Amino acid sequence: MLDIKVIRENVKEVKQAMLNRNLDISFDQLLNWDGERKTIISRIEQLRLKRNKESGEIGKLKRKSKKLPAELLAEINKVRDIIQEQEKQLLTIEKHIKDFLLRIPNIPDKSVPIGKDEKDNKIIRFVGKPEKLSFKHKHHWEIGEKLGIIDFAAASKISGPHFAVLKNEGCVLERAIISFFLDIHKEKGYKEITTPYLVNRTSMTGTGQLPNLEEDSFKCAIGDLYLIPTAEVPVTNIHRDDVLEESALPQKYVSYSACFRRESGSYGKDTKGLIRNHQFDKVELVKFVKPETSSEELESLVLDAGNVLELLGLSYRVVLLSTGDIGFSSSKTYDLEVWLAGCGMYREISSCSNFKDFQARRMNIKVKYSQNKKRELLHTLNGSGVAVGRTFAAILENYQQEDGSVVIPNLLRKYTGFDIIKP
């Protein structure tokens, strides 16, 4: 969340940053609470000084074995009661402040283009040339069903819409993609980690999924647990309340997980296929870095995510999201959009974001510098490295053959044990 000091000292600039996100937020009530909070803290401090002074007088009388004046005892009890009442008021106001701050999104970085929505995103670069098919193309869901490796009807019968069942070589191909991604990222220095798929409310709040995105989350009926929307949530929370040594940074993690998301705001979009499902697989990259290096670390994160696509021979483009399209917790986000030859368009396959100290403040994650022993909030970053289902779809569409078969990319063949899936 944002530092209230930043809001207090730069309220006009913060308000404009929210307007750039298409949010008209009044900070008047927050600043009123902040003023009340300061007043109450000052009052409590004065009362404590008075109580300590009177307690000292009682101590002197006791040492002299003198009778304690009833008026003095009554005054101390009165001061104690007032302090307790003021502390209750302080807790209430601090809760109001925290609840308010938890619902305010991050301030976009100055390099983020100002815009209303995805139409104002900026294409940074293209990598590779889009595959042009010399025959009538098919979409991945058509290819998968004809090859007998995807069964949407069975998934709908089992669970409902926006789910998929993989079969036969499809299961092998999915495992191959996951193993390939993990191996490549570990070669880049990322440490592999496997975490629970169920997390508590504190963990979801720490990365910014709650309270604002609760409607997109799957919550257990019993217990305050949520299915993870991405491995970013449990992996980032590993260092909650930790102080990391400067020499230990950057910390880089790679994690495969199933992910669960309602996609409540996306009905009517991508109703077919693997692009937008409630359950999907993803390999996630998470970084903990020093504040002064986070901009560079974001650029290298984008390169790491894109590298696996290049190795698979998949063309993609890098897009810088506008202020109207970046996520709640993000300060700056690049999307990687892979080319789907069957659909004839680019589709998002990874989002790489720099959250700066936004998540770290929620989770109290700090770095300790070796030279001056100073402690401050570090910066967190994450990106898909990359979405498994969408890679699966991209392989089917870009490697489809005229006879309906699909050729397996060279670097995946040692994982699959076969080089083609035939009808």
- In the annotated binding site for ATP, the residues are 261-263, 348-351
Residues 200, 87: Cα–Cα separation, whole Å: 29
CB 268 within 8 A of CB 389: no
CB 141 within 8 A of CB 343: no
Residues 378, 236: Cα–Cα separation, whole Å: 12
Detail the residues annotated as belonging to a binding site for L-serine: 230-232, 261, 284, 382, 384
Q: CA 371 → CA 102, 246, 247, 366, 419, distances in Å?
A: 33, 9, 11, 15, 55
Q: Residue 362: exposed, middle, or buried by beta-carbon count in 10 A (0-12, 13-18, 19+)?
A: buried
Residues 255, 151: Cα–Cα separation, whole Å: 27
Q: For the stretch 244-281, what's the b/e string if a residue is b when 16 or more beta carbons lie within 10 angstroms of its beta carbon?
A: beeeebbbbbbbbbebbbbeeeeeeeeeebbbbbbbbb
Tokens 């970085």 belong to: 109
Q: CA 381 → CA 133, 284, 329, distances in Å?
A: 37, 11, 10
Residues 344, 131: Cα–Cα separation, whole Å: 9
CB 210 within 8 A of CB 249: no
CB 51 within 8 A of CB 83: yes
CB 362 within 8 A of CB 206: yes
Q: Residue 220: exposed, middle, or buried by beta-carbon count in 10 A (0-12, 13-18, 19+)?
A: exposed
CB 403 within 8 A of CB 313: no
Tokens 């104690």 belong to: 80
Q: For the stretch 143-165, what's the b/e string if a residue is b when 16 or more beta carbons lie within 10 angstroms of its beta carbon?
A: bbeebebbbbeebeeeeeebbbb
Detail the residues annotated as belonging to a binding site: 230-232, 261-263, 284, 348-351, 382, 384
Half-sphere exposure of 271 (CA within 13 A, CB side): 2
Angle of helix 140-147 relative to helix 169-187, nearest 10 degrees? 120
